[in-house]
Amino acid sequence: MKLFGNIKNKKPSLVNVIKYPNELIIETINSSDTGVWLRSISVSCIPNSIDTFELGETILVHLDKSKKVNYKKYDLETVNNNYKKVTKKKTIKKQMENAKLVSVYRENKTITVTPHRNGGTSGSLKGYESIEEDKLVFTNSFKMEEIAKSVIQLFEKCK
């Protein structure tokens, strides 16, 4: 099993793993030249029953697909329409309903796994907010299966 994926590529990369009652959605997030992170075209829908080895490998594939993009030239409409088509969640309300989000951020040989609070789609707390006090940081040598296990454990910290 690969430990870090593409470690020659020193750029930061980000993946969101979203747990719903019947599935996991894993999406690659791209960084932009403005510093904003943007949803990408790369989205996987997998059963909650996936084993940790396969989940770790899937997360790694998505981390390796994360890239830096030009914000002004980025086609957000196409990316968002693709997400709706692949996930069958056509509205932001459906995307947020019963969703638990854990992000996996990689930079060099460090991976940070962070749970998020789901604030829904309205009000002052809408959207996702990281729960920094519960994040886990892995440095140097680790297996992606360990990262997958931490993602599964941190779903319990999501609010």
Contact present, 11 and 30 (Cβ < 8 Å): no
**Residue-wise pLDDT tens digits, 111-143:** 999 999 999 999 899 999 999 999 999 987 788
Which residue type, as a one-letter code, is found at position 131? I
Domain annotation for the chain: domains and CATH numbers:
13-157 (3.40.1590.10)
Residue 91, both tokens: 């509205």
Buried-state track 97-114, b at ≥16 Cβ within 10 A, e below 16: eebbbbbbbbeeeebbbb
pTM attached to this predicted model: 0.91
Closest CA to 150 of 108, 106, 114, 116: 114
Which residue type, as a one-letter code, is found at position 137? V
